[in-house]
Structure 1
Amino acid sequence: MEAGAEALGKEELGVEPSNQTEVVVPLSAEDAQRGEGPTSTESTVARLIYYTVARLRRERDQALAESEGLRKRVATLSSGHRDQYNTFQGRITMVRLEKDRVRSRASKFQTRLAESEAQVGQLQQERESQKQEIATRDTQIEELQKDVAWERERKEREREAAVEAEGERDSLRTELESLASEYEASGQLNYKKKFDEANDTGLRLRRERDGANKKVTALKKSLAQAQEEIAKLKRDKVHLRQTIGSWREQRHNLRVELDAANEELAYFEDQAQREREPESESERG
């Protein structure tokens, strides 16, 4: 029985059984005073306890060594994951800042584009207003030209009437002279009244001719002023076209910059999404 216990204890410790069966079992103080030693059964139990304690101590030391190794490995992995996580967080922060900057630029581009479109709309309204004003001026010029033509015709008729009046006055003068000669001969005809009437007619025709000349001069001045205003409106129209072309080009450039900003924003969002995927996978792992 003692040999079987010894073999069992050594087998548990991984030691081959041998012919040496002597195991020193310490005695208590009371046993030593009484001079008593362990019995055969007590020796067997003591051997089992000894080998079992030794095996347990060995397993404990091995478990502690493995635990320390695992702790160091976990610490190393945690440090590496923490550095990687901090790196990812830094890159994500940079991407977010860049995305905010791009969004700010896009917002500014949108504002400038809206302002340019509003200014283009205002310029187009001014252009339409100037077109209407030019059409009104053209109508007024046509009316003035008609008035000038009518005044020329009237002046021509008055000139013809004045010529006829001159001829009539000459004929009246001749008639008066003949009447005067007759009056001198007879002393009965009153030629002075007819002569005064003829002079009044000539003066009236001269006044009408002078008034017509003044009206023609005023119409000519109005026509020249209208032509100057038309030339000014034409110059304004050319300048307005140039301004509208410049605004259209600026709006096109702003749209190009806005498209580039949107592409850059989409690129940074895609990059941030790709960098989040390994992080989420590591968190799940």
Structure 2
Amino acid sequence: MSSSVQIIVDDFDPRITYTPSDKWTTGGVELEHNSTTHGFNDGAGSFAFNFNGTGISIYTTVPPFERETPPGVVCKIDGTEIERFTPTGAAYNFLACRSPTLDADKDHLLEVEVTRMAAWPTFHLDYMIYESVVGDNTKGAEGSRLVGPEGESVRIMVDEADGRVVYGGPEGAWRDGGVDAEHNGTTHVTDTGGATATYTFFGTGIQVYGTLVEETSSKSPFIATFQIDDSPPVIYTSPSIKGLQYRRRFFRSPVLEENVEHKLVIMDTTEGAGRFIL
């Protein structure tokens, strides 16, 4: 039996070809995936990526701009233009292009053409997410793991609404939420002490992301713990921010033993504090 997984591709993935290579610059800040981006500064350039999957989305960082026109972007799959979106302001994790459903039985070529005049904001590629169909033998048995470039492991996206994530704690502790800017437009939200989320998996590492929101002055920060197997819990205390920050990393595990099932337990330890949003 097969299933679909979402695989994240960082801008530094060696399978991405940047042209011309000398006009693409590297950068990045904490709010970007792996704190890295590839930026294009002037003229006409492109990047290409070959993959086997049923769909792909391209995410960028949009720097502040006022009257300047954002860089011209054209995205193509196998030579055919796909849906693209125009930013209305500065943003991280901006969905620049999205493909329709693709044939799962063939390889596809993504080509993104960027045109930027000197006065326009820089184009920054942050990451891509593509969907791929895999069999059940990817659960962790030796020799059956998903592999990426040069045999390296790949990073699989697991949405918080995935049925394998088990929510617990006091009755009614979690409620559904979500907006378009959040992954798959869904979230789970709690401000209840003792609320838990448990996920078991095979892999060599795991990271947890969520949304941070500006709270009223009467709300204290939420404090969450993240525990892998029998390791001591790692504590995360939410910072004070202005506005909203999407896809903020809350936790990153150390390297874990391969071919062994691991369990991650997340707990909100504060009652009535700021919202904890997965």
Normalised to the residue count of structure 2, the TM-score between the two structures is 0.12
Normalised to the residue count of structure 1, the TM-score between the two structures is 0.12
RCO higher in 1 or 2 (8 Å CA, sep ≥ 6)?
1
When you count strand as a share of all residues, which structure comes out higher?
2
